[in-house]
Structure 1
Amino acid sequence: MSARGKARRRALEILFEAEARGTVATDGITARRESTEQVINPYTVEIVNGVVAEQERIDEFLSSYAQGWTLDRMPAVDRIILRVGSWELLFNDEIPDGVAVAEAVSMAKEMSTDASPDFVNGLLGRLQQLKPTLLA
């Protein structure tokens, strides 16, 4: 797995933990740094900070285009994968759109249900199509 792939996975873990505990994800990074020797990849921090900063917009986009699904009905891991993928797709110009979608689908294959990769691919694919108008 690439360094960015590992960073995505770590960001997913931090964001998932924060949502489950009802805490702020950026506090999770601070706590890890203070209580362990763990080195946190700068890209992990960038993803977490980006998702936290843009979560309201990301959730609005996901809610609007997830046909038949509310954010609350989605499995938590899918919701976090979609947030990370959406942030990379819409707000990180360093990552090609296709890579952002493919990486999110890959995480869904590894960490979620059999139906999740198709769902993640379809929803992020739709956001990719609409990207010029979503960010206008």
Structure 2
Amino acid sequence: MSARTRARRRALELLFESEARGIALGEIIALRSDDPTYPMKEYAVEIVDGVAAHAEEIDELIRTYARGWELDRMPGVDRALLRIATWEILHNDAVDAPVAISEARSLAREFSTDDSPAFIGGVLTKIADLGD
């Protein structure tokens, strides 16, 4: 597993935990950064900070393209993965959109429902098409 894949997984955990526990993203990073058995990945922090900085824009795009789904009705893992990949697509020039989509779908296969990879891929493909 690549370092970026591990960082995305860690970012997924942080976003999910933050929302589930009602803890601000900055606080969850500080809370989890001191664990010597599970060191914080620099790219995970970059993702979480980026998602936090662009939260309104990211959530609005997800709402727009996730037809038939309210953001708060989606599985929490799907919501977090959509936020991560949307940030990567729109705000990280070092990651190509197809890579962000593929990584999000892969994590969805591992951690979410059977329908999630296709759903996530569809929403993210529409978001990626905005930049083309």
Range class of TM-score, shorter chain: over 0.9
Aligned to 1:127: 127
Q: Partner amino acid for 1:115?
A: D
Structure 1 counterpart SS, 2:67 = coil
Gaps of 5+ in 2: none
Q: CA RMSD in A?
A: 1.0
Q: In the aligned structure 2, how far is the partner of 1:33 from the partner of 1:103?
A: 24
TM-score normalised by L of structure 2: 0.95
Q: Partner amino acid for 1:21?
A: R
Q: In the aligned structure 1, how far is the partner of 2:76 from the partner of 2:97?
A: 23
- Residues 30-69 of structure 1 mapped to structure 2, 5 A cutoff: 30-34=30-34, 36-37=35-36, 38-69=38-69
* 1:39 Cα deviation from its structure 2 partner: 2.1
Aligned to 2:17: 17
* 1:131 Cα deviation from its structure 2 partner: 2.4
Gaps of 5+ in 1: none
* 1:33 Cα deviation from its structure 2 partner: 2.4
List per-residue Cα deviations over 1:8-50 (Å, max 9, x = no partner).
000000110000011112211111224x224211101100100
Percent identity, aligned pairs only, is 51
Q: In the aligned structure 2, how far is the partner of 1:41 from the partner of 1:9?
A: 10
TM-score normalised by L of structure 1: 0.92
The list of structure 1 runs, each at least 4 consecutive aligned residues, that deviate by more than 6 angstroms after superposition, is none
Structure 1 counterpart SS, 2:73 = coil
- Residues 33-112 of structure 1 mapped to structure 2, 5 A cutoff: 33-34=33-34, 36-37=35-36, 38-112=38-112
1:26 aligns with 2:26: yes
List per-residue Cα deviations over 1:63-120 (Å, max 9, x = no partner).
0111111101111110001000101111111101110111011111111101000000
